[in-house]
Structure 1
Amino acid sequence: MLQKKFVISLALIASLAFTAGCSSAAESDPAAVSSSAAAPASAPTPDLAGVPEIVATVNGEEITKADFTRIYETQFAQVQQQAQSSGQELDQAQLRKQTAEGLVNTELLIQEAAKKKIFATDKDLDAALADVAKSNAVSTKEFLSTMKSQGLDEDAVRLQLKTQLEVERLIAKEIGDFKPSEKDLKAAYKVVEEQFAAQGATDAAAAKAPSYKEIKSELSQQLKLQKESASVKKYAAQLRKTAKITTNM
């Protein structure tokens, strides 16, 4: 099952691991919609001491230290930036535990998609690969070259996309889609305005809040992710009830 634990987008991993403890930028720090803080030279580094070679076993499938490390290092960078911008200290012990839980939930979704015979075809993969390359403003060939330089050949990339598509289709089938209402969006924007106003009250040089029109699309994406995150985590919790899971963290 080459590389499959890395296949799910970080947004999905986050939804499965951090819904309760780490909300999206729009919820915890709306000012992050338009700007983010740069990490200082002395910023902490990921602490992987004590992570076992087998982090967990899910219905006989192993989640290895290598699987965990790759996800944890990326999540660490994102969560550390959020913690820094909010003036909080990152609890790596908690983050390691949440990352392991997210990987277990992700493995459950992968297995459930296979059980329900949800499959992505070669044609689906060709289209997905083209879309990913386009979103990165490069050709498919350039994208694959970049991935290869990061240790993933074309077969591994296609396998990742295959699993991601299948899990996304499982979620769409079992949970459905969520579209924020105008009322929800305006309520979220009000929070953004209040955050910027509070920042301006203590910092005369603070930036002015972006207009509703400027960030409406991003707010919509963030609200959609929040709603889907909660739903996916609830669905994964149901799968856990009949799963055989051993965690070693």
Structure 2
Amino acid sequence: MKKQLTLTTAAASAMLILAACGGDNGNTNEAPENGGMNNDSEQEMNNEEAAEDPEGADELAEMGEQDMPEAETDDLPEVVAEVNGEEIERDEFAVTYENMFMQAAQQAQMTGEEIDQQELQEELVQNMVDLELMVQEAEEQGFEASEEEVNELFDELAAQSGMESGDEFVAALEEQGEDVENLQEEAEMQIKVDELIASEAGDVDPSEEEVEEYYEQLVAQQEEMAGGEGGEEMEMPEFEEIQPELEEQLRAEQEAEYSQTLAQELRENADVTIHL
């Protein structure tokens, strides 16, 4: 059974690695949470602030005492789901869920919202079922992934994670216990699925009219945010300056929508059993 952790999840994991490690291993990438300071420097700054502001010291102490919630995986069944006879096993699901939960927990700390772990697990298992269906379809149609395509994907994910190269991306995940061979297989799987979606969706290039409409929506959203309480006015770049980025974003959204449609179509003739 192929491992189900997708490379998009791996990219998110890599960003979490950077945020967690900061400068511990000499990595020059800055963690967004503290601007690249290591833990000792951050603690020293906190101590100085605490000396100047006793009330702030109490707040820092209280924040430090708040325990990060833990992902609930002990009660997962050995087989989480079956898709046309292929099993999504507990260990495979748990690895992906723990990464997903870590991101949700960080977001919850900022918003104050509670995490519904049952809902989160159900969302993940449905996504993994959809992925498995598309992997099976891609393999049935004979899609292949070349070494060059795999390297290009690693480079793209590295850039998304704030890293300089695909080799650095893979090394960061390997340090966290990921197997290089598994990462290669995951990359090939992702490429095959992308090729399947592109083949089935056909031409998804947005028209200039669609891109302009999308730009106007973004401008309106930014004006609305700036007009709200505490909002800061930010100057939106001219349309021509960001047109390529807008086109890419729209293309990605359209492909994501089509992948959902494709997964739903594959489910109609699939044998899917979920054990959560």
Alpha-carbon spacing, 1:177–1:86, altered in 2? closer, same or farther (3 Å): farther
Answering whether residue 66 of structure 2 is matched by residue 52 of structure 1, we say no
User: Judging changes above 3 Å, is the alpha-carbon distance between structure 1 residues 242 and 82 closer, same or farther for their aligned structure 2 residues?
Assistant: same
Aligned to 2:257: 230
1:168 corresponds to 2:194? yes
SS in 1 for 2:125: helix
Is residue 67 of structure 1 aligned with residue 92 of structure 2? yes
Are 1:242 and 2:269 counterparts? yes
Deviations 1:59-102 (A, max 9, x none): 11111233223333444455667778888765443332121111
Count of residues in correspondence between the two structures: 223
* 2:105 is equivalent to residue 106 of structure 1: no
Q: Deviations over 1:96-145 (max 9, x none)?
A: 21211110010011111111121223454355456655775435543432
Q: Percent identity?
A: 29
Aligned to 2:141: 116
- Of 199, 213, 225, the residue aligned with 1:199 is 225
Cα pair 1:144 1:153 within 8 Å, conserved: no
Change (3 A) 1:94 1:212: farther
Quick check: 1:193–1:209 contact (8 Å CA) kept in 2?
Answer: no
Give 1:150 deviation, angstroms. Answer: 2.0
Three-state SS of the structure 2 residue aligned to 1:9 is helix
CA 1:189/1:209 → structure 2, altered by over 3 Å: closer, same or farther?
A: farther
What is the aligned partner in structure 2 of residue 95 from structure 1? Answer: 120
Residues 180 and 224 in structure 1, CA contact (< 8 A), matched pair in contact too: yes
The amino acid of 2:170's aligned partner reads L
Q: Deviations over 1:192-220 (max 9, x none)?
A: 23333233333355242532446544443
User: Does the CA-based 8 Å contact 1:59-1:244 persist in structure 2?
Assistant: yes
Alpha-carbon separation, structure 1, partners of 2:87 and 2:122: 16
1:9 maps to a residue whose letter is: T
In structure 2, the CA distance between the partners of 1:89 and 1:200, relative to structure 1 (3 Å rule), is: farther
Q: Is the 8 A contact 1:105 1:236 kept in 2?
A: yes
The separation in 1 between residues aligned to 2:212 and 2:109, in whole angstroms, is 27
Runs (5+) with no aligned partner, structure 2: 11-31, 35-62
Give the secondary structure class of the aligned counterpart of 2:145: coil
Which residue, out of 209, 218, 237, partners 1:183?
A: 209
CA distance in 2, matches of 1:170, 1:218: 24
Measured at CA, do residues 143 and 47 of structure 1 come closer, stay the same or move farther in structure 2, by a change above 3 Å?
Answer: closer
Two-structure CA RMSD over aligned residues (Å): 3.6
Tell whether the 8 Å contact from 1:72 to 1:96 is kept in structure 2 after alignment.
Answer: yes
Q: Name the structure 2 match of 1:7.
A: 6
- Structure 1: runs of 5+ lacking an equivalent: 12-35
Q: TM-score with structure 1 length normalisation?
A: 0.71
C-alpha displacement at 1:168, in angstroms? 1.3
Matches within 5 A, 1:213-224: 213=239, 215-224=242-251
Aligned partner of 2:249: which letter?
Q
**In 2 relative to 1, CA 230–54 (structure 1 residues): closer, same or farther, beyond 3 Å?**
same
2:72 aligns to what SS in structure 1?
coil
